[in-house]
Structure 1
Amino acid sequence: MTTNANYNGKLPPNAESYWINTTHLPEYPRLEHDVQVDVVIVGSGITGITSAYLLANEGLKVAIIEADKLLNGTTGHTTAKITAQHDLIYDELIRYAGNTMARLYYEANTDALNFVQETINKHQIDCEFTQQDAYVYSTTEEYALKLEKEADAYKELLIEGELVNKLPFDLEIFNALVMKNQAQFHPLKYLAHLTKIITEKGGYIFENTTAVDIETGEHPVVLTRGGARITGKYVLTCSHFPFYEGAGLYSTRMHADRSYIIAAKIKTEYPGGMYISAEEPKRSLRYATINGEEMILISGESHKTGQGGETLKHYEALETFGQQVFGIENITYRWSAQDLVTLDKIPYIGEITPGQKNILIASGYRKWGMTNGTVAALLFRDIILGKKNKYQELYSPSRFHPNPSLKNFLTENANVVSHLIKGKLEIPQKSIHHLANDEGAVIDIDGHRKGAYKDKEGMLHIVDTTCTHMGCEVKWNNGERSWDCPCHGSRFSYAGEVLEGPAEKPLQKYDYKLIDNLTSEDSGY
């Protein structure tokens, strides 16, 4: 699959994740009948698969259900850095959570890195794992000062790291903070190997099986869209955004961010290492070996879902950065990812509602899912086995830090209200007749706001633009050809199917045949 963007005349990139494109995964059946297991796991990303692997090793009967295809969600679109250096986080954690919690966050993510490496070594998994130093760097005086504070936090927490004043490539910076001996890998090759172990140990994996609700009780039951029921002693909600929120109100306590990645062949030699800018717009770097050639993954340009304007401009901005710093010969892949951010930047991992001990949630990884997702799986294992885990309080979904949680709660929900009102007042500027092939836009039909996409063959796909979650108006995403909600981050295909939650129902389709004055030629028929 290719994109229409010409990227300054270079070969158009494959509009698909490199990880997904280069991993052969077996197909798994849809759940067609009722099943009873020890643990039901909803979601097949790094959290769900690692949890199933750990619990199967303990002799428990597990089942993973996935609404789409295995590893086709956020895990399949990551940058795949395995690191405890999560941008600028430790100085902030010290200020609102204290030294003990800040240190625990570092230890949890370091434990996760070590677990991944040990698992790879134990099973001899060929997944391109390499140790790399991680850098966060500043290009402004303001963020140079913040990096100095972060370096002080490292010292206070006994984290090994140091400030440097230059990077090993041609980018002018004020300073950079390095954390040694972090890592990168091919996440899908790693997780694909774990799925083999899960099924060998009697675990079930079901694809194209959408969870829609939970019947709570001593043995909770996950209800699926197809009618099949799956019962367990525990349910693990590992589906990126929780398909079941209980009383947690998670849609008001997280926001969704999108970010973008290009894989590029560069003209200069890449020196190794993983890098991320402290400032916005983010610029993140690592290398990968693609078809025997070393290429760099350039990522960043994050923004709230549905609030980023023209999507293709974000890819172009990443290309411009790569061209200026390294020189780009061609771009082979480009893709995007969606991540959830909690009020205090620490993921929610644990009981979905206080006292509901047999339904557990993991969400809100803030783009650092390779370690935090592994942390979640390790924590889930210990909770289910009744073992004490020192990280349980740190990640508890019921925690609340007045600063920054209250401030961010008010800010995020004011943003939702603003976009809810703004979307209702916006007047569509295009009509169906103005759409070119492979173009989408919000249009007006008989005074009603609709979303229209004319595909490459000229076929029209028309949907209602009202998000089925809480009624906000979706925006057209021209990079992914999707309808994105600016309020809570739900995403829908051009035909209206749900791509990302919290929405559970598709957008209402509109029959193009009812549109007055549309000729068969206009409609593509």
Structure 2
Amino acid sequence: MTSLWLDGREPIRSDSLEGDSCDDVVVGAGLTGLMTALLLSRSGRGVVVLEAREVGAVTTGNTTGKLSLLQGTKYTRLTSRHPESLVRAYVEANLEGQQWLLRYCEEHDVPVQRRPAVTYAPDDAQGLKAARDEHEAATAAGLGVRWADDLDVPFPHRGGTVLEDQAQLDPMDLLEALVESVRAEGGRIVTGARVQHVSRLRSPTVRLEDGRSIRCEHVILATGTPILDRGLYFAKLEPGRSYALAYDYPDAPELMMLSASGPTRSVRDAPATSGRALLIGGDGHVVGRTRSERAHLNRLRDWTAEYFPGAVETHHWSAQDYTSHDGVPYVGGMPRSLGKVYVATGYAKWGLTNGVAAALDITAQILDGRLRWADRMHHRVTRPRSALEPVRMNAGVAVSGLQHVLDAALRGRPETPPKEGTGEVGRSGVVPVGVSTVNGRTCAVQALCTHLGGVLAWNDAEKSWDCPLHGSRFSPTGEVLEGPATRALPRRGPDGPTP
């Protein structure tokens, strides 16, 4: 599963990791990480970006690329959980992030298409109420939205709230430009460098999987979800996986659309070598908690075939995002880190604006600056409904974890290898074992997440082992793909671990 943006691109070359110290280490080479590295480098600080895989390998390279202040039903949810001052601070943060990024794209010739953003009402009473509620909430938050009863699209709807002059882009065009800018300012970007630990908080030492280490003044964790457990963010975030498909379709609507009620449907167009592409997304779920990821993709395919007949699929992929318990991103110093470790997470699928805002915020904190909207967001006071949300989230974690343990206990290790492209979890003694066959290679791994021991589930769309507890994901051979886990799965042979 390769996104439209990543397909056909050569991985961005890696700098060498020279020396054992710098001013700041940024962990993660997505938008937040590269933006933070650029801002700190411009201030004269020595910055090293460490990326476990490749630039854009995780969320940024798989996003739908919408740069919008209208974000589905975001303002309805924020208004129900927070005072008006915080909701307006969220708008200010996203506006500053959006405008900074648009200026940067213009200065560096990154292509951007201006489009209206629409939160539309599906053709039912629930969808109409949700879209109307969002229209009112967005208006109260200071956005200049308008209501449209009829939208120029082929699928049933009851209108929607529209925000003009928003933007969309190819996120990898943006990351490539940011890499060049970071290097021009003296920063280094090292790929294939997985961070496993940060020690000695008064003078942080970042330790890599291969045994290397680097000392620094500050560490910025721009990893989707923090790879350190301090602050217990894994218990305050819900990991979600959603899907996207690209089609050759010359009549794609020139709108950035998102449904106000489920099942979620996202629609946008994009430039393509053959003319124009249609992007359809949505149908998300909590990571590792579905019977079949392929079924989610197929529901999107069926919907597209019904309303966009003749569209020819070219790509399909998925992405992982994290939602905070109260809908506001967590940005700032990690608890008990003495002001040395910073974190940015919980964008809830709106990372293009929130990621830039987070980079501006963290950079200001490191350089002893202040951002008015950031102060209001840091001192958020959540209403009782939000205060109970972590209880709900972790109750779901507990139920899901127990279910996977019971399922594994009822099955022994498969006597024959699974069919091509499939995986099964059973037990070998007391340890759950995951056996898969992908590209003709059968592999067995210990099916316990190396983060907190969740029993893994097989992802039949991406051919990966996914943790239903906190969203860590592993390749069929056990390598970490994403999530809070930092260590690979132990390989298992017939009688125990393989060498």
TM-score w.r.t. the length of structure 1 is 0.90
What residue in structure 2 maps to residue 187 of structure 1? 171
2:126 corresponds to? 142
Partner of 1:132: 115
Does the Cα contact within 8 Å between 1:30 and 1:209 map onto a contact in 2?
no
Superposition deviation, residue 435 in structure 1: 2.2
Pair 451,355 (structure 1): closer, same or farther in 2 beyond 3 Å = closer
Counterpart residue identity of residue 252, structure 2 = Y
Distance 2:16 2:452 in 1: 29
Q: Which amino acid aligns with 2:391?
A: L
- Aligned residues of 1:438 and 1:453 also touching (Cα < 8 A): yes
Q: Distance between the aligned counterparts of 1:55 and 1:470, measured in 2?
A: 34
Q: Partner residue of 1:10?
A: none
Secondary structure of the structure 2 residue equivalent to 1:285: strand
1:412 alignment counterpart: 393
User: Does the C-alpha gap of structure 1 residues 354 and 107 become closer, same or farther in structure 2, counting only changes over 3 Å?
Assistant: farther
1:316 maps to a residue whose letter is N
User: CA offset at residue 290 of structure 1?
Assistant: 2.1
The superposition leaves residues 362-413 of structure 1 with CA deviations (integer Å, 9 ceiling, x where unpaired) of 01111111111111111122112211111323443x8552433322111111
Aligned to 2:439: 456
Match of residue 85, structure 2, among 91, 94, 100:
100
5 Å matches for 1:439-518?
439-445=422-428, 449-457=432-440, 459-512=441-494
Residue 278 of structure 1 pairs with residue 260 of structure 2? yes
Q: How many residues align?
A: 494
User: Aligned partners of 2:430, 2:389: CA distance in 1, in Å?
Assistant: 37
Aligned residue number for residue 12 of structure 1: none
Q: Does the CA-based 8 Å contact 2:78-2:327 persist in structure 1?
A: no
Counterpart among 216, 221, 230 of residue 237 in structure 1: 221
1:6 match: none
The DSSP-based 3-state class of the residue aligned with 1:318 is: helix
8 Å CA contact 1:275–1:285 kept in 2: the answer is yes
Residue from 169, 178, 194 that aligns with 2:153? 169
Q: Secondary structure at the match of 1:70?
A: coil
* Aligned counterparts of 1:194 and 1:355: Cα–Cα separation in 2: 28
**Cα distance in 1 between the residues matched to 2:45 and 2:417:** 58
C-alpha deviations, 1:13-38, integer Å up to 9, x for none?
xx21111124444310463x543222
| Superposition map of 1:87-486 within 5 A | 87-123=72-108, 125=109, 127-139=110-122, 140-246=124-230, 248-266=231-249, 269-353=251-335, 356-396=338-378, 399=380, 401-426=382-407, 427-428=410-411, 431-433=414-416, 435-445=418-428, 449-457=432-440, 459-486=441-468
**Contact conserved, 1:420 with 1:471, CA < 8 A, in 2?**
no
In the alignment, is the contact (CA less than 8 A) between 1:34 and 1:229 conserved in 2?
A: no
Q: Which residue of 2 aligns with 1:26?
A: 12
8 Å contact from structure 2 (residues 130, 261) kept in 1:
no
Kept after mapping to 2: 8 A contact 1:468/1:506: yes
Letter of the 1:284 partner, please give it. Answer: S
Question: How far is the alpha carbon of 1:39 from its aligned partner?
Answer: 1.5
Structure 2: how far apart are the matches of 1:146 and 1:415?
25
Give the AA of the match of 2:400. H
The letter of the residue matching 1:87 is G
Query: 1:164 & 1:98 partners in 2: Cα distance?
Result: 28
- 3-state DSSP class of the match of 1:35? coil
Secondary structure of 1:388's aligned partner: coil
Q: CA deviation at 1:208?
A: 1.1
SS at match of 2:56: coil
Q: Give the whole-Å Cα distance in 2 for the aligned partners of 1:192 and 1:146.
A: 38
Aligned to 1:100, the other structure's residue is in SS state: helix
Q: Which residue of 2 aligns with 1:50?
A: 35
Amino acid at match of 2:97: A
Distance 1:214 1:395 in 2: 27
Closer/same/farther in 2, CA of residues 445 and 245 from structure 1, 3 Å limit = closer
CA-CA distance at 1:228 after TM superposition: 1.9
Letter in 1 for 2:30: G
* 1:190 partner SS: helix
Q: Where do residues 54-65 of structure 1 align in structure 2 (5 Å cutoff)?
A: 54-65=39-50
- AA partner of residue 26 (structure 2): I
Task: Give the distance between the partners of 2:361 and 2:233, measured in 1 at CA.
Answer: 20
CA deviation string 1:233-269 (max 9, x = no partner): 22111111111232x1111100110001110123x61
Q: Distance in 1 between matches of 2:446 and 2:16?
A: 29
The separation in 2 between residues aligned to 1:514 and 1:342, in whole angstroms, is 39
Instruction: Give the CA deviation at 1:343.
Output: 0.1
Query: Are the structure 2 counterparts of residues 274 and 376 from structure 1 closer, same or farther at C-alpha, using a change threshold of 3 Å?
Result: same
Q: Secondary structure of 1:454's partner?
A: strand
SS in 2 for 1:261: strand
Check conservation: 1:492, 1:499, Cα contact below 8 A.
yes
- CA–CA distance in 2 between the matches of 1:16 and 1:489? 20
Kept after mapping to 1: 8 A contact 2:422/2:437 = yes
RMSD: 2.0
Letter in 1 for 2:255: G
Q: CA deviation at 1:431?
A: 2.6
Question: Aligned equivalents of 1:453 and 1:306: distance in 2?
Answer: 16
Which amino acid in the other structure matches residue 456 of structure 1? N
8 Å contact kept, 1:343–1:404? no
- Residue 8 of structure 1: aligned partner: none
Unaligned segments of structure 2, at least 5 residues:
none
DSSP 3-state at the match of 2:439: coil
Flag the 1:410–1:295 CA change in 2: closer, same or farther, 3 A: same
Q: Aligned to 1:36, what secondary structure does the other structure show?
A: coil
Report the 3-state secondary structure (helix = DSSP H, G, I; strand = E; otherwise coil) of the residue aligned with 2:320.
strand
Q: Distance in 1 between matches of 2:291 and 2:477?
A: 21
**Contact 2:89-2:377 within 8 A present in 1 as well:** no
